[in-house]
Amino acid sequence: MAPQNGQAYVLRSATGVVVDVDHSSTAPGTRIQGWPANGSRAQSWVFWAKDNGSWLLETGLTQGTHGPGQAMVLDYDFSNWRAHLFNEHGQANQLWRLEDAGDGYVRLKSLRTEGGDAYLTADGAGRFLGVWKSDPGSDAQRWRLEGAPSSGQGGQAGQQPQPQPQPQPRPGTGGSDVELMLSLVNQERAKAGLPGLVLDRALCAAAQRQSDDMARNNFLGHNGSDGSDMGRRFKDVGIENVFSGENAATGSDVRGTMDMWMRSEGHRNNILGRNFRRFGAAFAPGSGGRWTQTFAS
């Protein structure tokens, strides 16, 4: 089925689950998960046509109920390769292109191409939807568009206003795991009477480089497989001649990783560093998951 602008659909994976908003919450950062079909508006998605054949997917929970800029849409949280709900801001990580997958199925490709092509993926019932590298043979990346049940709001599809672009959030905002990590760091600093740190794009980029490298090559450390050390990675993103630090860990759980670091003297010293003012963090899946924190004055 080819989508029509302003029409609502259920997205059903070839694995059987459908795209669902966790607990029908419209809060920014709410996870988008695979779930058995139940006919609710949390499983309805309004397709809005955008440039270059791409689509913006608004949750049926906000369909026809919002003013300009107040809709919530399917967002690719590229800090952890997951899908979550977020205010529309018009950037590539909220735009999707449909590719024919045969037998009435399509694949949903993110227009965000940094790190390679990525596709909406059903990781299992009750689990976050992933946005993973192309796997054409996987049923988890094949989706069928089915007409959504009537919302009961009255009117015809397409009559409500389209969502309007909002400012692009800073890395890690909007309820992401990176934002949670920053919050936990600043809570520990507050307990120690220290000022909070601010999220820094460049430090996030340096952290992402190391997390990706460790996950891809299955190691844990501060020297990259390309021979880079922390100083080199910081310099490559424009950070030089500063007090700096880096923490690295295996695992995926934010709180568990943070607890482990706080029990380790060297890692704790970085988190509570008196000279630090800026912070970055990044997660990469694979090899059990890898977290990196980066710090700078």
Predicted local distance difference test score (pLDDT) of residue 68:
61
Tell me if 61 sits within 8 A of 21, measured CB to CB. Answer: yes
Q: Is 102 exposed, middle or buried (0-12, 13-18, 19+ CB in 10 A)?
A: exposed
Average pLDDT over residues 232-241: 90
pLDDT band with cut points at 50, 70 and 90 for residue 67:
low
pLDDT at position 153 is: 36
Lowest mean pLDDT among 61-65, 167-171, 211-215: 167-171
pLDDT at 1: 63
pLDDT of residue 60: 93
Residue 230: φ, ψ to 5°: -55, -45
**pLDDT over 70 percentage in the chain:** 89
- Strand order of the β-sheet with 244-250 is 198-199, 278-284, 290-296, 244-250
Phi and psi at 65, nearest 5°, equal -115, 0
| Average pLDDT of span 261-269 | 93
Q: What is the pLDDT of residue 95?
A: 94
- pLDDT recorded at residue 29: 83
Nearest to 58 by CA among 4, 110, 94, 105: 94
| pLDDT 10s digits, 23-51 | 898 888 888 999 999 999 999 999 999 88
- In this prediction, residue 162 carries a pLDDT of 52
For β-strands 32-35 and 45-49, DSSP reports them as unpaired
pLDDT at residue 168, as a whole number: 39
pLDDT in tens, 150-200: 543 333 333 444 554 443 333 333 337 888 999 999 999 999 999 999 998
Mean per-residue pLDDT, 10-22: 95
* Mean of the per-residue pLDDT values of the chain: 86
Least confident span in 58-72, 170-184, 247-261 = 170-184
